[in-house]
Amino acid sequence: MSVITEVKQRLDIVELVSEYVTLQKTGRNFKGLCPFHSEKHPSFFVFPEQQSWHCFGACGTGGDILSFIMKKEGIDFGQALRLLAQRGGITLSPLEAPDKAEDEKKGRLFQINEAATEYYHHLLSSTKAGEAARNYLARRNVMPGNIKEFRLGFSPDAWETIKNYLLGKGYAEKELVEAGLIIEKEEGGSYDRFRNRLMFPICDIQGRVTGFGARALDDSLPKYINSPQTSIFDKSSSLYGVDKAKSAIRKENLAIIVEGYMDVLTAHQHGWQNVVGSMGTSLTEKQVGGIKRLTNNITLALDADLAGEEATLRGKAILAYSNAEANVILLPPGKDPDEVIREDPALWQKLVEQAMPILDFAFQSVISKVDINKAKDKSLAVQKLLPSIYEIKDPPQKFHYVEKLARALKIKTLDVEAALQKLKTARKRPQLSKPTEQSRLARQFVSSPIEEYCLALLLQYPELRPLAQDQELSPEHFESTENREVFVKWQQSSDISNLESKLDTSLLEHLYYLVKKNFPPAIQESAQTRHRNLGDCILRLKEKLFRKLETEKEAALEIEREKGGISSELSKLEEQGINSGQQLQEVFVKKEKSHGFNERRKHQPG
């Protein structure tokens, strides 16, 4: 039995969720106020028989015990698995267990950063040396409460201030180097990395200080520097202020991503607490992945000169995340979010409300810079925009942008479609870069054979990717969190090696099992058979989701009975013993469409 299966079998979802939500029994199920958004009427249901949960309100999402903990605690799959395994008294095997020594080392670095944060903040708030930094913040209209909330600090214009302070606290010089707070000299000795700078502690989503950003308070260059890459700090995956913004992001169901530290501080100070910062770098897939645990809706507020290029270069990465809605705010020329918010909050609100879909913005940016009368420019525009169009999962939406590109460049739609088809090139059958431990693949239980069969086909035969996209296979069709995690990362990966690097180590066993799954000779030898089998799998997954929705019908109708409305009338018909099957079917056809597919009810293949 895999540890994932054991965790699910050992723990009861009702008992776990009850620690976060006050649940009331209703028939065979339980209901309560959704813990992920504000509401007055309960729309959150837990289904003991399926060991699943679902929000019928603003969230519209659901899952199993693992996905609940991931969403509620804002943690990834591996962290959720370790937390639940500990709760269930399950000992993780070496593949899933974190390296104890590495964990202790990271814990030590977190402690060092926390001590440095407190000291830097003291120097800013309570010393004469910090006066210049305090004056700078006053000129930028940063209020004392904001300074305290974000724990801003000051590093003096000296060579060994933080070094001597932390050595006095009992930390070793080597540890301070590993934390990125001091720099070793080639000739021996060391010195403080940050000197005469305003300090911005950078935290992970759990509020632990992972590193620092620092702004020069004189003419020193570069104006901003960050902590180097460490075992706990990776700039490409960090978002400034995410620990402060996570609750507002969930509540608003929107994350606004800006570039600078001051942009974040000003936004929060003026009430836009769902704002985070990319710290002056191009938005990365890792950063988007972190935000996706909080919301599907992302708005970028970018410098006017960089926004078009940013949208073009990063649009593909953002759209690759299933169900992501990415918009772009184009700021007034010469203005950054900090200035707009301070000078005209109403204008900022208007810009947020009028944000343009990122692909539309990329179109506008690219097309405006080419001469459509020149064949070379047309080709360049197609090369830039086609990859983003290719990533679109919804066929009507994809065709919309194909036609839009053809009209904008005054070329035939068929030519754009032909270019799009060239992107769908088959790749070689993947090979694992790591050996599989056969003893670890022995399983007494499987979470969902059809889900695993589908994933195994996709992983072992990359040429099936276009079919999965055409059939609108989505994460929603994978009920087991481990399968959903693998599918989402597969969507974002170019090959198996890339996929391995994206997955938490606790999921590698599951990945190896899927990639080594044996298929009958007919599937191994016939591409046509593989296509037919995948088509059948996808259909069965859609039917499986439809049946799941039907089991939730009673809960959905109960909500409507409390709220009133059209669906309430249908539930009254049921209570009166009148056959309302046709009406109920219409309700759930709408429900199906909200999950991204048009159901074609057929008998399950053998």
Q: What is the pLDDT of residues 60-84, one digit of tens each?
A: 888 899 999 998 888 888 888 888 9
C-alpha span between 112 and 126 (Å, rounded): 21
The rounded distance, in Å, linking the Cα atoms of 414 and 434 is 43
The answer to whether the peptide bond before residue 222 is cis (omega within 30 degrees of 0) is: yes
Question: Which CATH number describes the domain made up of 239-357?
Answer: 3.40.1360.10
Task: Report CA-CA distances (Å) from 525 to 119, 520, 529.
Answer: 66, 9, 8
What is the pLDDT, as a whole number, of residue 395? 84
Single-letter code of the amino acid located at 168: G
pLDDT exceeds 80 at position 378: yes
Nearest CA among 408, 239, 391 for reference residue 316 = 391
3, 506 Cβ separation under 8 angstroms:
yes
Q: Residue 313 pLDDT > 70, yes or no?
A: no
Eight-class DSSP state of 163: H
Which pLDDT does position 347 carry in this prediction?
Answer: 97
For residue range 424-465, what is the model confidence (pLDDT) as tens digits?
653 334 444 443 333 233 333 335 788 998 999 999 999 999
What percentage of the chain has pLDDT greater than the value 70? 81
Q: What is the pLDDT of residue 588?
A: 37
Range 528-534 average pLDDT: 91
Confidence of residue 308 (pLDDT cuts 50, 70, 90): very low
pLDDT band at 186 (very low <50, low <70, confident <90, very high): confident
Please answer whether residues 255 and 295 qualify as being in contact, where contact means their C-beta atoms are separated by less than 8 angstroms.
yes
Q: Band the pLDDT of 558: cuts 50, 70, 90.
A: low
Asked if residues 163 and 173 have their Cβ atoms less than 8 Å apart, the reply is yes
Select from 425, 424, 405 the least CA-distant residue to 415. 405
pLDDT in tens, 491-528: 988 888 778 778 877 788 788 788 878 888 888 888 89
Q: Which of the four CATH numbers 1.10.760, 1.20.1070, 1.10.860, 1.10.12 does domain 438-594 have?
A: 1.10.860
pLDDT band at 99 (very low <50, low <70, confident <90, very high): low
> pLDDT band for position 254 (50/70/90)?
very high
In contact, 7 and 90? CB cutoff 8 Å: yes
**Using an 8 Å Cβ cutoff, are 108 and 169 in contact?**
no
* CA nearest neighbour of 205 among 249, 175, 252, 264: 249
Mean pLDDT, residues 167-172 taken together: 96
Of 320-334, 337-351, 492-506, 568-582, the poorest mean pLDDT is in: 568-582
What is residue 553's predicted lDDT score, i.e. its pLDDT?
A: 65
What's the 3-state SS for 464-492? HHHHHHHCCCCHHHCCCHHHHHHHHHHHC
* Lowest model confidence (mean pLDDT) among 145-159, 204-218, 515-529, 547-561: 547-561
- Tell me what pLDDT residue 424 has: 60
The number of helix segments (H) and strand segments (E) in the chain equals: 29, 16
pLDDT digits (tens, 9 = 90+) for 267-282: 999 999 999 999 877 7
- Regarding pTM above 0.75, the answer is no
Residue 44 has pLDDT above 70, yes or no: yes
> How many Cα neighbours within 13 Å face the side chain of 254?
12
Is the pLDDT assigned to residue 597 strictly greater than 70? no
| 99 burial type by CB count under 10 A (0-12 exposed, 13-18 middle, 19+ buried) | exposed
Q: How far apart are CA 606 and CA 603, in angstroms?
A: 9
CA dist., res. 352 & res. 366, Å (int): 22
Superfamily of segment(s) 100-233? DNA primase, catalytic core, N-terminal domain (3.90.980.10)
Structural domain boundaries in the chain = 3-87, 100-233, 239-357, 370-423, 438-594
Distance CA 407, CA 367 (A): 11
| Residues 6+ away with beta carbon under 8 Å from 357 | 325, 326, 327, 328
Q: Count of CB atoms within 10 A of residue 275's CB?
A: 28
> Cα separation of 565 and 447, whole Å?
38
Report whether pLDDT(108) > 60: yes
Residue 564 has pLDDT above 50, yes or no: yes
What's the average model confidence in pLDDT over 47-51? 84
Instruction: Indicate whether 243 pLDDT > 80.
Output: yes
Predicted confidence band at 551 (pLDDT cuts at 50, 70, 90)?
low
State the pairing for strand pair 224-226/190-192.
unpaired
Closest CA to 229 of 175, 285, 180, 174: 180
Examine the pLDDT at 586 and tell me if it is beyond 60: no
More confident residue, 177 or 390: 177
Which whole-number Å values give the CA distances from 281 to 237, 303, 358, 405, in the listed order?
11, 12, 18, 29
Q: Taking residues 13-31, report their average pLDDT.
A: 89
For residue 5, the model assigns a pLDDT of 79
Per-residue DSSP letter, 63: E
Q: Residue 212's pLDDT is what?
A: 98
Q: Which residue has 């010393």 as its token pair?
A: 127
Lowest mean pLDDT among 33-47, 429-443, 552-566: 429-443
Give the pLDDT score at 86: 85
Please give the class, per CATH, of domain 3-87: alpha beta
Residue 181 pLDDT: 98
Nearest-5° angle of CA 489, CA 454, CA 79? 35
